[in-house]
Structure 1
Amino acid sequence: MREAPPPSKESDPSLVSKAADPIAMARRDLKKALPRRFFKEAIAQERDGKFVLLLDGRAAKTPGGHPLALPTMAAALAVAAEWSAAGEIIDPAEMPLTRIVNSAIDGVAHRLDATAAEIAKYAGSDLICYRAAEPEALAIAQAAAWDPVLAFARNKLSAPFICTQGMVFVKQSEAAITAVRHAIGRIAESGAGAPFALAALHVMTTLTGSALLALAVAYGELEPAEAWQAAHVDEDFEIRTWGEDTEAMRRRASRWCEMNAAAILWQDVQSGV
């Protein structure tokens, strides 16, 4: 799968203070010593208009010390279920939804505009705009998976994107980029759920290499699994040609868990339940 070219936070420290990277923040937590399970019951409860995670009756907090509070009961119940399913060791690697929520509260909430801009950068060199000239079977597979997403962007977002063959950069029109920025900007201005929605959208964008695939999921045009498959058209073609790499598939499965968690968070935050 082709990675989009926006600069990483590791390579450009100046970006760290400007934009929150939910994936980087989540992976940071994986490096900490793993604690034993210290609670028997994890539940969600409404408190002061928010929905908090309670562990044996005590309000949970994020790694940054903020209350682990969500804007909808649906999202809080999903997080509580993840904690309830934890084993004897609390392993963040097995809790992707909690990791994304933590990054939303500790990071994205304080950098909404910068995070929205970071997502929008991907549209400037979006995965689905770069096509193979050959082999023909791959070009056909790309068109089948990606052309409907371009049609969604054109018809629903008023964002007309153009494609190119190979890896030569193609500059998209200002109209297309502006339309995507407006779509993401509306999410950034959506109230109490904005940090969580943006964090979810950011994770889906970076994992797929495509802001357009992420927005297609957000708008209900694609199911998360469909977007994930579309993001891996090239990789799946190589697997059919050369065979499967066990370690690569293990990493892909791990990333899918993160993608699916982001999609669940998006849906639950939008539900208003």
Structure 2
Amino acid sequence: MKRFWKEAAVVQEAAGLAVTLDGRPMRLPGGVSLRFANRALAEAIAVEWGQAGAPGEPFSFDMVPMTRLAGTAQERVAVDPAASVEALVSYGGSDLLCYRADGPEELTTRQERLWQPLLDWAEQRYGARLHVTTGIIHVSQPEASLMALRAALTALAPAALAALGIVVPALGSLVIGLALAEGRLDPPEALEIALLDDLYQEEKWGADAEAAKRRTHLAADVETAIRFLRLSAGVAEQDGEAAQ
């Protein structure tokens, strides 16, 4: 597919804000127009399309990740939020932060220092106490804790659930995802925490080019999803964020 439009613009329509491509509103696969909660998000989407190559050059939807998130939120999550909530709760039942190494001590100390405060935060914030184990043997989590996490997710808007649908599987942790959503962590902090084991191994055995490439893609996905979440919620961007 090639870029077929010259200009992307934000317009106010009777049903809300929309982004047009050469005057034609963008539509979802189901045929309805894509709408935006506020002007900051709509303008960010318009910029995304404006920067997606040049007219006549190859185009793919990978170039417009926030648009894909907006479409997912409107056409899928908003229609059946419970399905998204349950998919995310399943990560709480096997959260990365609950599975600790049994050695070496240097690694286990780092896990305790970086991971335990987030589990403590989840208990204080949501009443969700999660059990910790060593190794890979599954540990069952209290149903009351999973219910508390479910309630927290159910209270979120479709846009936030769509963003967490990217972040949580990518990081392997519902707790880290919720901490990002609430501003308890920023994306670089979240990546450092989620990739602690990999980064430790890299320290000991050296860098791996493919692993570094995967981390770069992961970081971009997380940054984009959290930026979308914050814009959707009307959180003003700091200087420099819009250029990311």
Q: Scaled by the length of structure 2, what TM-score is found?
A: 0.89
- For 1:9, the equivalent position in structure 2 comes to none
- Structure 1 counterpart of 2:98, one-letter code: C
C-alpha contact (below 8 Å) 1:72/1:272 kept by paired residues: no
Partners of 1:62 and 1:246 in 2: CA distance: 37
Deviation at 1:143, TM superposition (A): 1.7
Count of equivalent residues? 233
Tell me how far apart the structure 1 counterparts of residues 204 and 29 of structure 2 sit (CA, whole Å). 44
Residues 100 and 200, structure 1, Cα contact 8 Å, conserved in 2: yes
Moved more, 246-255 or 171-180: 246-255
Give the alignment of 1:86-235 within 5 angstroms.
86-88=52-54, 89-187=58-156, 194-235=157-198
Q: State which of 212, 217, 224 in structure 2 corresponds to 1:254.
A: 217
Aligned-partner SS, 1:225 = helix
2:100, 2:108 within 8 Å by CA — same for their partners in 1?
Answer: yes
**How far apart are residue 49 of structure 1 and its match?**
4.8
Residue 47 of structure 2 is aligned to residue 81 of structure 1: yes
Asked whether 1:65 is paired with 2:31, we answer yes
Map Cα deviations across residues 175-222 of structure 1 (whole Å, 9 max, x no partner).
2111101100111xxxxxx22221011111111111110000111111
- Give the Cα separation in 2 of the matches to 1:212 and 1:181: 12
SS in 1 for 2:11: strand
Q: Is the 8 A contact 1:44 1:77 kept in 2?
A: yes
**Cα 1:256/1:114, change in 2 over 3 Å:** same
Judge conservation of contact 2:187–2:219 (CA < 8 Å) in 1: no
Q: Which runs of 5+ in 1 are unaligned?
A: 1-34, 188-193
Asked which structure has the greater RCO (Cα within 8 Å, sep 6+), the reply is 1
Query: Which letter maps to 2:95?
Result: D
Q: State how far apart, in whole Å, the 2-side matches of 1:78 and 1:207 are.
A: 23
Identical amino acids, percent of aligned pairs? 35
Gaps of 5+ in 2: 237-244
| 1:6-28 CA distance string (max 9 Å, x none) | xxxxxxxxxxxxxxxxxxxxxxx
Deviation string 1:31-70 (CA, Å, 9 cap, x unpaired) is: xxxx222222212223235221111221012344331212
Question: Once the 2 structures are TM-superposed, how far is the Cα of residue 118 of structure 1 from its aligned partner?
Answer: 0.7
Coordinate RMSD, CA, aligned: 1.6
Give the TM-score, by structure 1 length.
0.80
Secondary structure, counterpart of 1:212 in structure 2: helix
